[in-house]
Amino acid sequence: MASQFHQNSGSSTAVMEIKPVYMSPLPSKNESKEAIPTTTLPDSSTRWTSSDEEKQVDDSSPPTSPTTAQAKERWNYPRTNIPRLQEYYHLSYIIVSLLFLSPFIGYTTAAFLNNIFHTRFGRRGVALVASCSHLIAYIIIAVHPPYPVLVIAFALAGFGNGIADAGWNAFIGNMDRANELLGVLHGLYGAGAVISPLIATTMITKAGLPWYAFYYLMIGLAGLEIVITGTGFRKASGREYRDSVAASSGSSNGGLKEVLFKKPGARVAWLCAVFLLGYVGIEVALGGWIVEFMIQVRHGGAFESGLTATGFWLGLTIGRFILGFITPRIGEKLAIMIYLPITVGFELLFWLVPQFIVSAVAVGLQGFFLGPLFPAAIVAMSKLLPHHLHVGAIGFAAAFGGSGAAVLPFAVGAIAQAKGVQVLQPIILALLAAIFLVWCGLPRIGKKKD
């Protein structure tokens, strides 16, 4: 999701995985029970105030009885919160976390509609639908509407991301030297994840602009996306796509039903979809929660802890550029079976050695070896499946996998809310082991099929 919530560093390009969403700091166990969380977006910083201070902030609030004073605040309770949503959001963590789940709806919808868009409208249609979805979503967010509308806007942005993810990964995955090209494409995503929070931070903290001002910039970029992709794919009609599929397979078939339920392609599609679901969830959960972990568990300062997230995304970016040239020489299946155990080793180092510097270095190296996993999985699918199934299968896997950026960080946050942010490391370790086993289930990857 090309949205940005600043506290932890990190994001995304419009055609890649969803941009990481950064979590609000969890209250410590020593906080007063009467503390009320006041969360602002996108920097997700939380100010804990007493009940008396809250009354001073909102002098218009009617007097409360002892019973209502103990009730937890919701987006629609007390009623004075509803108009206040247009400027800032007084919400519990679980309600704010709906923003992380809403792109899942968009991504899931994109997974099922991707092949239809390609068949009827071609890549020209994919380009326009994706970029226009981004533009509309960012316009809605920029006017900072009531919170429920914000949730809908992020679902629309997730739909645009899912359609673009599917289309551009399938498009580049079929090219010669696809590993290198996808490494560059996904590397640019990592670069955006490093740069965009720095821009947002400067706008908010240095220029004194409100959080939604960042989306004025996003509106401009979405407009640029419409111009560039619309121009680049202006002749890529639905007929051209159908003809290219028919020429390579003798049939224009290749719908989602065949991809998901007809052997042997269904096995590859589902395994890669689950693998990408876990991978993207690891990437976004680790990148999104690392700052809070370093502050609460490693007792680092805010600035130093923020740098660890920057190090993670920088490692991810460098890994995609560098290992993208090494992976095809090793072979996609073997390469990932090497990268994942190395990542597990650094994860264990990160978890078991309670030193701030060791953790900071370990998380950066995790990013380095995690980086090439997404591009390598796309290339593996293009080699294992016939050409007419590429858009349907790769599109479904990319969109389904992208939903991991919404579901798994939300799950981590829900568990962390109850058990503490230290649960991040065993969860990440378990997910790394799980996707390794899923990857081992893929058939042997030979030469690319036509």
How would residue 161 be classed by pLDDT, with cut points 50, 70 and 90? Answer: confident
Instruction: Tell whether the model's pLDDT for residue 76 goes beyond 60.
Output: no
The answer to whether 164 touches 126, Cβ cutoff 8 Å, is: yes
Q: pLDDT tens-digit profile of 316-358?
A: 999 998 998 899 899 999 999 999 999 999 999 998 998 999 9
pLDDT value at residue 272:
92
Token representation of residue 44: 């997700």
* Residue predicted with more confidence, 365 or 238: 365
Identify the CA nearest to 446 among candidates 390, 395, 379, 398: 379
Among 167, 190, 169, CA closest to 181 = 169
**Whole-structure pTM value:** 0.70
Residue 370 has pLDDT above 90, yes or no: yes
Of 23-32, 281-290, 436-445, least confident by mean pLDDT is 23-32
Q: Are 173 and 378 in contact (CB under 8 A)?
A: yes
Q: What pLDDT shows up at residue 248?
A: 62
Sign of CA dihedral 264, 270, 273, 274: negative
Query: Torsion over CA of 320, 325, 331 and 335, rounded to 10 degrees?
Result: -40
Predicted confidence (pLDDT) at residue 78 exceeds the cutoff of 70: no
pLDDT in tens, 250-270: 555 556 777 788 877 888 989
Distance CA 278, CA 270 (A): 12
Give the residue-averaged pLDDT of 369-373: 93
Measuring CA to CA, which residue among 309, 277, 319 is closest to residue 111? Answer: 277
Look at residue 85 in the predicted model and tell me its pLDDT. Answer: 52
17 and 402 in contact (C-beta within 8 Å)?
A: yes
Q: pLDDT band at 89, cuts 50/70/90? A: low
The Cα 402–Cα 18 span in angstroms is: 6
Task: Give the residue with greater pLDDT, 251 vs 315.
Answer: 315
The predicted pLDDT at position 65 comes to 40
Is the Cβ–Cβ distance between 295 and 420 less than 8 Å?
no
Residue/partner pairs of 115-119 with CB below 8 Å, 24 or more apart: 115/254, 115/255, 115/256, 115/259, 115/391, 115/392, 115/395, 115/396, 117/163, 117/167, 118/167, 118/238, 118/241, 118/391, 118/395, 119/238, 119/241, 119/242, 119/252, 119/255
CB-based contact 284:335 (threshold 8 Å): no
Residue with tokens 């960080």: 409
Considering only residues 246 and 261, tell me which one the structure prediction assigns the higher pLDDT: 261
Stretch 209-232: mean pLDDT, rounded? 92
109-132 in b/e burial notation, b at 16+ Cβ within 10 A?
bbbebbbebbbebbbbbbbbbbbb
pLDDT at 21 (0 to 100): 43
**Distance (Å, whole) CA 212 – CA 112:** 31
**25 has a pLDDT exceeding 70:** no
Per-residue pLDDT at 369 exceeds 50: yes
Domains detected in the chain: 93-440 (1.20.1250.20)
Q: List, for residues 382-405, the tens digit of each pLDDT value.
A: 888 887 787 778 878 887 787 777
pLDDT confidence of residue 165: 83
d(CA 329, CA 325): 8
At 106, is the pLDDT very low, low, confident or very high (cuts 50, 70, 90)? confident
Higher pLDDT, 154 or 204: 154
pLDDT greater at residue 302 or residue 77: 302
Which tokens sit at 401? 């996998």
pLDDT at 124: 92
Please report, rounded to a whole number, the percentage of residues in the chain having pLDDT higher than 90. Answer: 26
Of 22-26, 270-274, 305-309, 418-422, where does mean pLDDT reach its minimum?
22-26
What is the pLDDT at residue 219? 95
Q: Which one is predicted more confidently, 230 or 401? A: 230
Paired sense of beta strands 36-39 and 46-49, if any: antiparallel
